[in-house]
Structure 1
Amino acid sequence: MNHSLDLPTRSKSRSSGSVECLGQSFPTDEARREHFIGRLRAGIEELHAKLDVPFTTVEDAIARMGSVEGWPMGDAEQNRTLAGRMRSADRGKGLLQRWKDEVGFPHGEIEDILRLSDPPYYTACPNPFLGEFIEAYGRLYGPSEPYHREPFAADVSEGKNDPIYNAHSYHTKVPHKAIMRYILHYTEPGDIVFDGFCGTGMTGVAAQMCGDRKTVESLGYRVEADGTILQQEPGENGKPVWKPFSKLGARRAVLNDLSPAATFIAYNYNTPVDVAEFEREAKRILREVEAEYGWMYATLHKPTAEQLERAVRALENGVDPKQVTRDQSLPWGKINYTVWSDVFTCPECAGEVVFWDVAVDQQAAKVSDEFPCPHCQVMLSKRELERSWVTRLDTAINQTIRQGKQLPVQNTYSVGRTRFEKKPDAFDLALTDWLSTQYPDEWFPVDRMMKGGETRRNDPAGMTHVHHFFTQRDLAVLGAVWQKARMSPASRLIMLSVTSVHPEMPPFRCGCGYKGVRRSTRSAR
């Protein structure tokens, strides 16, 4: 489990000024982080010191868990129940590993957990500061305190075009404005809201936005000068009247999810941002990456036969492609994206069939169910085709791989502000071939796709590892952006922005062989 705490009293700036956190004052935000990182480290190290032993008996496990002082472990009865469940675990696992499995504690290295965490606001593991958070900001509903809310029965419909919602994609995501209606209905300012399956943290965003007058009014409510929120209800004569039902003010949120990726996104969604610093750093990184790798996205714009031949000959003679694309005597454009097509084999004549060329009707914007083989004219359907294969050495993983053959079939590019489309010419194909043999120096992920029917559905096409879903130039650009983001003062938000772009990258969205066509290769701009 990974936890994130939303503290509206937290300073809106991550500057060098003094900050207050969980009732303690610190001269700077960095001092706050160092203090709580130290406590988090001490707690995790104590867990390892006292629990990293073989599992022997339930009583021994209870005693060892009870001896931990720097981490909340529960009472004796809870530990006995936990130890009873751990007893039936895999015999090859020790006490610490069994305990981590039960409580949802990641098995990563201590330094990795600390590097991801920003305690007490966010920890990439169960948050040991939850008790202090509740003690500092929570309050019990006493029997003398009146509390009554009718069930929330109104229809809720919110669009998904809000900039906050679209800042990062995630499955089953709920717009924060929809959640706000429930929070305003059931809670008061300062109340604690818990979301045990927080995803990207929209509940935390909603809790904070309950203190924003403009956002509350955008929901159709009215906000009085004293912060009273009114909604329209049917009056005695049937006419709508404005009646108070809530108060303007931020609520505090505890966000939890089993997914480290989800809570990382949730943390960044709910963390104060230095907008000026982020914009400055993002523009700097994009400028630097464009200067370093923009040449990979160069294409010739309506070249003469002589110009095309000269550019191709230069590549064939071993001239550095970067130098070729800097030849100002040639008419250059910048590729925005490239359409790639699967290549199949005709079962009748064994000729290669480029799916885009035979099946895609660009004018009608549809894919034909049947089409003639360009070689023997026999009518075919995609189900009858056999995939054409390419076998090559993947130097990134040092393995010989067999992948479905794909070819670039259309470039969409720009010259100035004008967009054009063209079929890749001889230079485009030559540059693509050269780049396909050049893995970048920058780090890029080469992990095997995780187990699962959806995550490994492209295995039959030879797309088995993460880097197979990107072209080499995509890997170069993303690797460079990632490395520069890690070194940036605004690293967390820029890295979040990079991951938010990933689902929009065409290879991820379309996948390999989606109807035989996929888009890829966005420019570095």
Structure 2
Amino acid sequence: MTEIFNEKTIGSIECLGKKFPSEEARRDFYLEILAERLKDPTFRGIEGFPVGSDEAILALSDPPYYTACPNPFIKDFIEFYGKPIIEASKYDVTPFSLDVVEGKNDPLYAVPSYHTKVPPKAIQNYLLHYTKPGDLVLDAFCGTGMTGVAAANCANPGRDLTDRFSVYEKGARRAILVDLSPAAAFIASIMNSPLDEHLSSGVSGVLGEFIKKEILPLYTFKSGNAVDHFDYAVFSDWGECANCGGSFLLYDVIIDTKKPCILSEYPCPHCGAIIKSESAKKSFEAVFDPWINDTTRLAKTSMVLISKKVGNRAIRTKPTELDVRHYEEVGSRVVSLVPAKLEYTHMTHERNNLPEYWGITHIHHFYTRRNYYSLARIAGIKDAQLRRAALFCALTIMENNATRRNRFYIDKRRPNGSPIGPLSNTLYVPTLQTETNIGRKMLQVLESLQKVHSSWPKTRSIVSNQSATNLAQIPDASIDFIFTDPPFGGNINYSEQNILYEWWLGIKTNNQAEAITNSVQKKRIQEYTHLLTLVFSEYARVLKPGRYIVVEFHNSSNTVWHAIQHALEKSGLIVANVALLDKIQTTLHQDHKAAAVNKDLAITAYKPIESLIRSCVLNSQISQSVWDFVKEHLKHIPIIKERDGLINYISERDPRVLFDRMVGWFIRQNVYVPLSHQEFRAGLVEKFLERDGMIFLPDQAKEYDKRRASVSTAPQMELFVSDERSAIEWLTNFLKSNPSTYQEIYPEFTAQLGAGWKKHESKPELQRLLEDNFIEFDGFGECPSPIHIYLSSIFKDMRGLDKSNPSLLHKAKNRWYVPDFNKAQDLEKKREKSLLKEFETYKTFTGRKIKESRLEVLRAGFRAAWAAKDYKTIIGIANKLPEDTLQEDEKLLTLYDLALTRAADGI
């Protein structure tokens, strides 16, 4: 399809098949349609509709490509650019198996500041692999729109990317970008359209001249006999001694210039008492605030330093009385945007209690008076396009530079001190605060935009500001690929932190459907999981059958990890691979915190084809449907994963994981599979091929064998023992290669039961695990083959001996080994009976909570109750379990969810 975005032809442009004499005419045409839609209460009732007036929404929007509300033109975009569904057999893309390692030094990535971003080149890896030019790509947690940037720049991906792929097609993909945050959606709209002339014209353009004339003069200081513009000023809090009551400027006492560092404790300059910074009192003052027409109690601060860079050297001076008077004069001017009082939120009132400990009660208290006034001037620009461009520049510097959160830091790397930006993911205001010259920073943004002009997207994405829980504008099965980076639990409270962005836009987040955990919003892990399930259900609905979704995951919480997996599976999507997505650079927080996660995971899942669903639901031969599922699922799993020259074990090809995926899939289809794990394993061996403990289709096995022949070391399965099931798996692997006595097994097994054990899971006795799952040779009859093979390979004097040799039998006696299929089946039935017997004790439990339990007992009992349609038992037991037990086990959570649904429907 010919590129038509922003392309002028004989005095006209085209947009979604319509011709207009100019871009302004295009905007006016669609703004009129949008204005009519805003009058419809049903339209305003769409989930996640932002909080803001019609005027504010229309002023910010650039329709049809971007609306500061749910975008009513998405369907038109899809009809114009979408492709018909092709048969799944014709979409023969193999799963992407490489770990992605891409740094954050992409110039486009560096332009906007936001809480989290994924480098566009990282996303391009997936786009080049899974899509073709013109394909529709969706990201409903788009943030600053890096998925759209990646999609557009697939037109020219560069050698560093294309060298990784043997097969790929250059050409822009079409992105549909959605975000709940008005700030994120606005930034994404600028990043995903040809660079606006106000931005591309740089410091000499209309916007540059406005900044130089209206904003820069606000940041002047006395430099000798002249007046000059500074880069930044430093403000310091005042402290108060709890011992003598004296107050003092903290800048004068907390800095050790010899080490150099900021002291964690220091003497009171009045009485000498030692004060610890973590518990130090702030000094407050009551001041009249003309902007809110009221007296406020604020933490007392003073300007202590002014810095200007001359060449490569920073010139630091103490502010003069003239400098202070200039600051106070600017801070007393009338502002067009009267500051609002902060709403009660987790970040402002519960986590930090900003009103109590900082005196921060209104939005402008996060800014110096001068910076708030500067931003108010920018937000008050009348021309809509110029205002959009100016707001984009302001928001790109907002997170790191514009607020009082910007820290002034002193250490060995910064002996003279320098700004280092805010403490991420908090609204913390430091003791030493940097006031950045906003005018100078905005001019720097304009200069950087000129430098990246050539790599800026040439095509347009379509951007919508709404919740991802309901994407009704997107038709079923219309999307070719999804890349998404959803919020993870309580990592970042986006809507609360975005008050510093959204205030200037005049529109704020409607956080009712925000997928986070948050005490004030009354969202626990259950509510978070429910919201994510709605999102992934929408993803599953709009994705074409057989196509893929990649979910970036960044969290150290097991509960959140299970919530993501549960939401994916409940939506009908099937997980196929988990790989590394390394953005290389770490944050200061990740460098200093041992538990901080500095690498992300990319979870790949796919939407099953229609024929698989029909086979599952309609096929009377359940066993055949099982193998249909396995065959289809294996097609979507990587064949080879390599890292550092070694072939990695692919856990998704493990028979146990395949069994769990299969059972989970059929449970979701409301079909009971009367197939034990041992029977399933026997069927795998019969119908498919096994290599190094992994299951392959015949053609996949050939490809694996070819690569495996060039590597001497077999891939090793990584196994972490955290519950009874993983303990059995560890014992199985150990005894397969080392049939051993109890005394030999005990120390090895005990070493595995470390800190990773699940909190509410009772630790099993080794003897019981061995008796329920393995066989001990009693010394009578022939030596079992596994033990015979092991002893013959380990001990020279055992080689060549007959299985009935007395010396061999003596050595083999009391060794435990992994049984063959028939004996394993008998053991499995015996163990299942024992588990269900123990489950009866849970059913008769009369206390409030079952504090410690066996997951294997719960899983067996839930499975049996579900098969018997005894949903009451599942719900009753679940209500007696600690929250972590249920939330951290996707098998229990799945059956509990289904039981609730079936019980509510009266099934």
Per the TM alignment, residue 21 of structure 1 is displaced from its structure 2 partner at its CA by: 2.1
Partner of 1:264: 186
Counterpart of 1:309? Answer: none
Q: Structure 1 residues 449, 167: closer, same or farther in 2, change over 3 A?
A: farther
Q: Which residue of 2 aligns with 1:65?
A: none
Say which SS state the counterpart of residue 178 (structure 1) adopts.
helix
Deviation for aligned residue 1:290: 4.0
Q: In 2, distance between residues paired with 1:414 and 1:398? A: 38
- The question of whether the paired residues in 2 share the 8 Å contact of 1:16 and 1:29 is answered with no
1:134 aligned counterpart, secondary structure = helix
Q: Does residue 1:499 correspond to 2:395, yes or no?
A: yes
Contact 2:100 2:122 (8 Å CA) reproduced: yes
Distance 2:174 2:2 in 1: 7
Comparing 191-200 with 105-114, which one deviates more in the overlay? 105-114
Counterpart contact for 2:283–2:300, Cα < 8 Å: yes
Picking from 32, 38, 50, the partner of 2:26 is: 32
Structure 1: distance between partners of 2:428 and 2:141? 34
Matched, 1:380 2:270: no
Corresponding residue of 2:895? none
Secondary structure at the aligned position of 1:188 is classed as coil
What TM-score comes out, normalization by structure 1 length? 0.71
Distance in 1 (CA, whole Å) between partners of 2:270 and 2:2 is: 68
CA distance in 2 between counterparts of 1:138 and 1:472 reads 50
TM-score, normalising length: structure 2:
0.43
**How many angstroms does 1:259 deviate by?**
1.5
Residues 356/141 of structure 1: CA separation in 2 closer, same or farther (3 Å cut) = same
Cα-to-partner distance string for 1:307-343 (whole Å, 9 max, x where unaligned): xxxxxxxxxxxxxxxxxxxxxxx24443221111111
Render the CA deviation track for 1:76-108: whole Å, top value 9, x for unaligned: xxxxxxxxxxxxxxxxxxxx5xx7455333453
Which position in structure 2 is the counterpart of 1:477?
Answer: 374
Whether 1:200 aligns to 2:144 is yes
Equivalent in the alignment of 2:525: none
Q: Which has the larger radius of gyration?
A: 2
Letter in 2 for 1:499: L
Kindly provide the amino acid, as one letter, of the partner of residue 190 in structure 2: N
CA deviation after TM superposition for structure 1 residue 370, in Å: 1.9
Pairing of 1:128-139 with structure 2 (within 5 A): 128-139=72-83
**Structure-2 residue corresponding to 1:462:** 359
- Classify 1:23/1:424 alpha carbon distance in 2 versus 1 (closer, same or farther; 3 Å): closer
Deviation at 1:191, TM superposition (A): 0.8
CA-CA distance at 1:392 after TM superposition: 1.2
Residue of structure 2 in register with 1:124 after alignment: 68
Matched, 1:338 2:253: no
Partner of 1:402: 297
Letter of the 2:192 counterpart:
N
- What one-letter code is carried by the residue in structure 2 that aligns with 1:217? R
Instruction: Render the CA deviation track for 1:174-193: whole Å, top value 9, x for unaligned.
Output: 11111111011111111111
Equivalent in 357, 381, 391 of residue 286 of structure 2: 391
How many residues are treated as equivalent by the alignment? 417
Distance 2:245 2:268 in 1: 10
- Deviation (angstroms), 1:396: 0.7
SS across alignment from 2:158: helix
1:335-367 CA distance string (max 9 Å, x none): 221111111111222221221111112453421
Counterparts of residues 69-108 of structure 1 (less than 5 Å): 96=42, 100-101=44-45, 103-106=47-50, 108=52
Partner of 1:217: 159
**How is 1:62-73 mapped onto 2 (pairs within 5 angstroms)?**
none
Distance 2:69 2:438 in 1: 37
Q: 1:402 and 1:291 mapped to 2: Cα distance? A: 34
Deviations along 1:282-304, one digit per CA (max 9) or x if unpaired, are 654444544456554333345xx
Q: Contact 2:61–2:67 (CA<8 Å) still a contact in 1?
A: yes
SS at match of 2:129: helix
Question: Residue 282 of structure 2 aligns to which amino acid in structure 1?
Answer: R
SS at match of 1:477: helix
The alpha-carbon distance between structure 1 residues 184 and 342, as it changes in their structure 2 partners (threshold 3 A), is same
The one of 312, 330, 340 aligned to 1:447:
340
Deviation at 1:246, TM superposition (A): 1.5
Question: Which of the pair is proportionally richer in helix?
Answer: 2
Q: Does 1:154 align with 2:82?
A: no
Structure 1 portions without partners, runs of 5+: 1-6, 49-95, 223-230, 233-242, 303-329
- Supply the distance in 2 between the matched residues of 1:384 and 1:205 (Cα, whole angstroms): 46
- Provide closer, same or farther for how the CA distance between residues 251 and 343 of structure 1 changes in structure 2, counting only shifts above 3 A: same
Q: 1:280 Cα deviation (Å)?
A: 5.0
SS of aligned partner of 1:412: strand
Give, in whole Å, the separation in 1 of the partners of 2:11 and 2:199: 16
- Describe how 1:405-444 pairs up with structure 2 within 5 A: 405-413=300-308, 419-432=314-327, 434-435=328-329, 438-444=331-337
Question: 2-side partners of 1:107 and 1:516: how far apart?
Answer: 33
Distance across 2 between alignment mates of 1:121 and 1:441: 36
- Unaligned residue ranges in structure 2 (runs of 5+): 408-421, 441-907
Aligned match of 2:222: 300
Percent identical residues: 35
Cα gap change, 1:289/1:441 in structure 2, threshold over 3 Å: closer, same or farther? farther
Shift of 1:171: 1.7
Distance 1:267 1:408, change over 3 A: same
Q: Structure 1 residues 8 and 380 mapped into 2: Cα distance closer, same or farther (>3 Å)?
A: farther
- Match of residue 58 from structure 1: none
In 2: Cα distance, 1:276 partner to 1:522 partner: 21
* Change beyond 3 A, Cα 1:521–1:376: same
By how many angstroms is 1:412 displaced? Answer: 1.3
Other-structure match for 2:266: 371
Q: Deviations over 1:489-525 (max 9, x none)?
A: 5442232111112222251434787552111142744
- SS of 1:142's equivalent? coil
In 1: Cα distance, 2:310 partner to 2:88 partner: 72
Relative to 1, partners in 2 of residues 1:481 and 1:41: Cα closer, same or farther, differing over 3 Å?
closer
Distance 1:413 1:114, change over 3 A: closer
Q: Is the 8 A contact 1:10 1:19 kept in 2?
A: yes
The CA distance in 2 between the partners of 1:265 and 1:293, in whole Å, is 22
The answer on 1:20 being equivalent to 2:11 is: no
Measured at CA, do residues 277 and 398 of structure 1 come closer, stay the same or move farther in structure 2, by a change above 3 Å?
closer
1:454 aligns to what SS in structure 2?
helix
Q: Secondary structure at the match of 1:197?
A: coil
